[in-house]
Structure formats: C-alpha cells, structure tokens
Amino acid sequence: MSIYRTVKPLILGSGSPRRKDLLQSAGLEFKITPATCDEPAPLPGQDPEDYAIKMAELKAENVAASNKGAYILGSDTIVVRDMEILGKPKHREEAYQMVKSLCGRKHKVISGCALISPDGERISYAVSTEVEFIEFNDPAVRSYAATGEPDDKAGAYAIQGQGAFLVKGICGSYTNVVGLPLAKVLETLVSYGVIVPGDG
C-alpha cells in the first residue's frame, strides 16, 4: 500500500539516488531525466536561498525543454557556512578541511525546488535546515574523509550515511539535509494534482 500515487506524468530532473529514494518512499512513480546544463557559480554577494532556487529552476527548465507533456521537478541542495556556499570537495584533504570547518558549530542546508507544469506554470521555493556538528575530533574526521563518502557531497558529508556521526542535532527537515524537502515537495505535488493519496 502506497501513501501516494502519481496520476499525472512526473519527471525528476536529477540523477541523485537520494532524491529518487525519497520520492519512491512515498509511493510515487516517475521518470528520471537528469539535467545536462552547466551549474554556474554563485554571484558575489548572492543570497544562498536565491542561488539554490535559481539552480533548481535552471535544471527544471533544462529538462522541460525536451519533455513537454510532463511535470518537471528540479532541485538543488547547498551547504552554507557563515553565508559562504560550500561546494563539493575537489580532493580528500579539502573534504577534511571542509568538515573540520563545520565541527563544533552550526550551518545551514538549503534545498531549492522548482516544479514546471506541461503548460509552463511554475512554482519555486527554498527550504532551510539548521545542522549542528560535534566538536572537532581530528582522527575521526580524517578517517571519515578517507572513506570517500564526502567526495561528491556538497559540504563534504552525508547525513544519511557514515557522516551521521558528525551531527549533534538539526532544526528543520531531515530529508532536506539528505537532498529533498519531502514534505514540502509532496504538498506541492498534491496542490497541482500530480499525486493523490493512495487507495486505502
């Protein structure tokens, strides 16, 4: 028995296995068509939420251009420390330094989401979650960086993976930190009639 069922064509414009798993956990059926556009760096002084939304819109528009008959969901998740957007580490040492800089303090994880309908109507928004890390523990952080898990993760950690040991607490949506604010996304899809509650 599924919580929701999909009644209109839906495409996830992302190849993220985490976003796929989150949507499937609610019973949704959808196609996956990853966006192929370049992701420009944030402009100097650009608001992080604005940047996350712009990236989500860019991805959704890229996929919508060749998929006219479906609803397109685009998303982008960023990690922000003191208004600085942290990208994916380029190597293991940078992963270590990035995680080290987050330890013993709070940061934000922001997901921008954009939904484009077949007739071009769109809605976009950002969801922010505050995350607090443990105090700095050099051997453990170095060991974590060496696992390779941080290599392709914004902010160099995965809360749903081994990186969970770093997290002292969160305020806000957990799934947002994983990569998609599921409750808000489902609410949006329901409001557009893309999904309906599953049959009891």
pLDDT, averaged in runs of 10, over the chain (200 residues): 93 96 96 94 92 97 95 97 92 96 97 97 97 96 96 94 97 97 98 88
At 113, give phi and psi (nearest 5°).
-130, 145
Tell me if residue 50 is catalytic.
no
> Looking at the chain, how many residues does it have?
200
Helix (H) / strand (E) element for 160: namely none
> 131, 123, 127: which is closest to 183 by C-alpha?
127
Residue among 76, 119, 138, 152 flagged as catalytic: 76
Q: Quick one: pLDDT at residue 140?
A: 96
Q: How many domains does the chain have?
A: 1
Q: What does the pLDDT read at residue 2?
A: 86
* pLDDT at residue 131, as a whole number: 98
The CATH number of the domain holding residue 84 is 3.90.950.10
Which residue segment(s) compose the domain that 64 sits in?
A: 4-197
Q: Which helix (H) or strand (E) holds 85?
A: strand 84-86
What is the token pair recorded at 49? Answer: 């939420």
Tokens standing for 173? 């949506």
